[in-house]
Structure 1
Amino acid sequence: MHTEHIHKRAYTEQETAAYIGMSRSFLRQSRMEGHRLNRTEAPPFIKIGRAVRYLKEDLDNWLDQHRKQAHLSYGEREHA
């Protein structure tokens, strides 16, 4: 029997939390509340029926957007 390695494109909430290093509660809360001032915006998600999924390319883009290019200033370090 020939089996091919399948690359997943859509991740579950649990897989997404592990992939981006955040908690499942962060993902749930940010989906329910939307973007709030002074809170990290959650990655985009899709719904297929009742199932919530996150696309790998969206997660990679989200991670890239949160990359810091320079050292944190003194004020940012206190809040990190």
Structure 2
Amino acid sequence: MDDTAIRAQAARATCPYLTTKQTAFHLGIAESTLRALRAAGRAPLGRRHGRTWRYHIDDIEAWSVARSSGGRHD
């Protein structure tokens, strides 16, 4: 497991807010893609803490689920 994954896992256990880098890793997308989605108003709900964007894990999961398609959804 690389450093980003370890830090994201630790953040989930200790703090529900992930950085842009951690959020992108969690979603399996590039940071630049997440930034572009945020600029277009199509990213998970984010909060600006100082100069850093933070994403609550519940908002990330809700955003991801809302974009799922195909297969069975129980």
TM-score (norm 2): 0.69
Letter in 2 for 1:62: W
Is the aligned partner of 1:10 residue 2:9? no
How large is the Cα RMSD of the aligned pairs?
2.1
**What's the CA shift for 1:45?**
0.5
In structure 1, the residue matched to 2:39 is 32
Looking at structure 2, the residues matched to 66 and 49 of structure 1 have their Cα atoms a distance apart, in angstroms, of 29
Write out per-residue CA displacement over residues 1-24 of structure 1, whole angstroms, 9 at most, x where no aligned residue.
xxxx84320001110011011110
**TM-score, normalised via structure 1 length:** 0.64
- Corresponding residue pairs, total: 61
Runs of 5+ unmatched residues, structure 1: 35-40, 71-80
Deviating beyond 6 angstroms after TM superposition, the runs of 4 or more aligned structure 1 residues are none
Identity in percent: 28
**Equivalent residue of 1:46, what SS?**
strand
Give yes or no for the alignment of 1:56 onto 2:57. Answer: yes
Structure 2: any 5+ residue segments left out of the alignment?
Answer: 1-9
